[in-house]
């Protein structure tokens, strides 16, 4: 781990991405200390431009945009982590089973993944939330299900490669049980691409959550979310452009940070991409 973080800090892309991700996480964790106002509090200062009293101005209800942006980071980070965790765990289990056992197990699992892959991620998440109902928990479940096929394919491909190695054939030939082979010999060798995919999927989860909230199927008002803030700003965009600019910039920077971190992690964990000096 010490070597990994040392290499990550030496990598320019990874360093910038890590700094951005840490900034988003710090804002999310310490939101009550950073926010200057109650994010739900309405005032008489409607659509007030950014200034000393309100750092990023106010919206059409007189709510502080900066405070809502800060608390919106908490929602994005929470949804991104939990939803990605659901997709990662589900995809890891299915990918290991499909790649290791093959045959009928592989066909059933991968045909199911093909069905899920046939739908664009946003449309599939929309359909799931429409069935379950719009709230935070259902949004997390929908995003988690959407991410499972990506992890399943990634893990399965690595398992197929690892399973073909001679040492796997050797341990199986001496009667080692499948569960032990998977946990002790296969799983450690598929973790590198799995970790990279997890890092990259965090940005996708944040984007899907913002999209669902923008469409009114994610976090419900008056709770702050970057997507819902952007949706609410459409009505007053010409009169108060700061209400749209702030959440847009936050979404872009958060997604960019996670993508840069994912690229840095990939460069470190994938020996094929390391520069030969």
Contact 128, 145 (CB under 8 A): yes
What percent of the chain clears pLDDT 70, i.e. is strictly above it? 97
- Can you give the CATH number for the domain in which 179 is found? 1.10.3720.10
* Contacts of 66 by beta carbon, 8 Å cutoff, 6+ apart: 35, 36, 37, 54, 55, 56, 246
Confidence at residue 170, expressed as pLDDT on a 0 to 100 scale: 84
Residue 222, preceding peptide bond in cis (omega within 30° of 0): yes
The tens digit of pLDDT for each residue in 196-214 reads 899 889 989 999 999 888 8
Beta bridge partners of 64: 58
Classify 192 as helix, strand or coil.
helix
Classify 49 as helix, strand or coil.
coil
Confidence at residue 136, expressed as pLDDT on a 0 to 100 scale: 86
The tens digit of pLDDT for each residue in 3-60 reads 777 887 888 888 899 999 999 999 999 999 999 899 998 888 888 889 878 889 999 8
Closest CA to 95 of 163, 176, 172, 174: 163
**Count of domains observed in the chain:** 1
Classify 102 as helix, strand or coil.
coil
The tens digit of pLDDT for each residue in 139-180 reads 999 999 999 999 999 999 999 988 888 888 888 788 778 888
**What is the token pair recorded at 128?**
């799931």
Boundaries of domain holding 58: 2-273
Closest CA to 74 of 115, 34, 111, 31: 31
**What is the token pair recorded at 172?**
């199986």
Confidence at residue 270, expressed as pLDDT on a 0 to 100 scale: 67
The tens digit of pLDDT for each residue in 99-132 reads 999 889 999 999 999 998 888 888 888 889 888 8
Classify 64 as helix, strand or coil.
strand
Whether 187 has a pLDDT exceeding 80, the answer reads yes
- d(CA 5, CA 261) in angstroms, rounded, equals 12
pTM as predicted = 0.86
Mean pLDDT in the chain? 88
């Amino acid at each position: 781990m010490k070597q990994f973080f040392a290499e990550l800090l030496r990598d320019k892309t990874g360093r910038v991405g890590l700094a951005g991700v840490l900034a988003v996480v710090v804002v999310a964790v310490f939101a009550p200390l950073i926010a200057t106002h109650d994010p739900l509090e309405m005032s008489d200062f409607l659509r007030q431009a950014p200034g000393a009293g309100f750092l990023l101005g106010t919206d059409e209800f007189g709510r502080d945009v900066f405070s809502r942006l800060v608390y919106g980071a908490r929602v994005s980070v929470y949804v991104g982590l939990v939803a990605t965790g659901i997709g990662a765990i589900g995809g890891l289990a299915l990918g290991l089973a499909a790649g290791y056992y093959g045959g009928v197990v592989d066909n059933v699992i991968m045909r199911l993944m093909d069905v899920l892959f046939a739908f664009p991620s946003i449309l599939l998440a929309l359909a799931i939330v429409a069935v379950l109902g719009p709230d935070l928990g259902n949004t997390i479940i929908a995003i988690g299900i959407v991410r499972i096929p990506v992890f399943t394919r990634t893990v399965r491909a690595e398992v197929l490669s690892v399973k073909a190695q001679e040492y796997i054939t050797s341990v199986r030939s001496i009667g080692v049980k499948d569960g032990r082979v998977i946990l002790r010999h296969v799983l450690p060798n598929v973790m590198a691409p799995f970790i990279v995919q997890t890092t990259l999927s965090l940005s996708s989860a944040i984007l899907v959550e913002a999209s669902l909230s923008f469409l009114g199927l994610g976090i419900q008002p008056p709770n702050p979310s970057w997507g819902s803030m952007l949706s609410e700003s459409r009505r007053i965009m010409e009169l108060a452009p700061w209400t749209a600019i702030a959440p847009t910039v936050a979404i872009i920077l958060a997604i960019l940070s996670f993508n840069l971190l994912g690229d840095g992690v990939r460069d470190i964990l994938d020996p094929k991409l390391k520069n030969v000096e």
